[in-house]
């Protein structure tokens, strides 16, 4: 279950509790779950934490989460860090040796 609507439907009162935690009206939570209101990015991490990871930022924003939360990208999917080219390394080494 990776969507807000399913999570809310699983137990009575969750919408009211989540609304209180987010500081929004319960009707706004209902609209977010129904898809008639977008889930604000600034609430996504709080929703993920409140639902104990059942509803994830990745699930709420499938096409853009990597750009907003790059720390969530698994290490296996991360691009290797760029390295200095040999010429720059030689120049730095020379400066240190002669500095």
pLDDT per position as a tens digit, 16-43: 999 999 999 999 999 999 999 999 999 9
Domain that holds residue 64: 4-98
Mean per-residue pLDDT of the chain: 84
Tally of structural domains, the chain: 1
Cα 74 from chain centroid (whole Å): 12
DSSP conformation class of 10? T
Confidence of residue 5 (pLDDT cuts 50, 70, 90): very high
Write out the two tokens for 24.
């929004």
Mind listing the pLDDT tens digit for each residue in 50-69? Answer: 999 999 999 999 988 888 88
Whether 29 contacts 37, CB under 8 Å: no
* CA–CA distances in Å: residue 37 to residues 19, 29, 30, 75, 85: 14, 9, 9, 33, 49
CA distance 9 to 93: 62
CA distance 93 to 38: 53
């Amino acid at each position: 279950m990776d969507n807000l609507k399913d999570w809310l439907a699983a137990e009575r009162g969750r919408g009211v509790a989540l609304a209180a935690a987010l500081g929004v009206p319960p009707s706004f939570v209902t609209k977010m779950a129904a898809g008639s209101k977008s889930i604000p990015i600034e609430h996504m991490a709080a929703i993920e934490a409140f639902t104990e990871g059942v509803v994830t930022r990745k699930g709420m924003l499938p096409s853009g989460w990597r750009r907003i939360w790059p720390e969530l990208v698994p290490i296996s999917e991360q691009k290797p860090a760029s390295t200095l080219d040999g010429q720059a390394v030689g120049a730095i080494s020379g400066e240190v040796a002669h500095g």
